Amino acid sequence: MATRLWRAVSAVSLRRPDHLKQQLNEVARLSDQPRSQLLREALETLLCQRRQERAQAAP
């Protein structure tokens, strides 16, 4: 995924189950990426998928 320049950012507080916290920490460690970057990428991916699903479902 391409690196983007962030002009404006806002903080989000996220409650997650322990198993997701552990998985996120493991992926961050193995990929040498910050957790915040991984979460941004995951959110972007989810939002893109949802947009595509809505577009395919539209008449």
- φ, ψ of residue 50 in degrees (nearest 5): -65, -40
Mean pLDDT of 20-28: 98
Mean pLDDT of 45-55: 96
pLDDT class of 8 with cuts at 50, 70, 90:
confident
pLDDT class of 4 with cuts at 50, 70, 90:
low
> Is the Cβ–Cβ distance between 39 and 14 less than 8 Å?
yes
Looking at residue 41, its pLDDT comes to: 96
Choose between 28 and 59: higher pLDDT.
28
pLDDT surpasses 80 at 1: no
Q: Does this model's pTM top 0.85? A: no
> How far is Cα 1 from Cα 17, in angstroms, rounded to an integer?
26
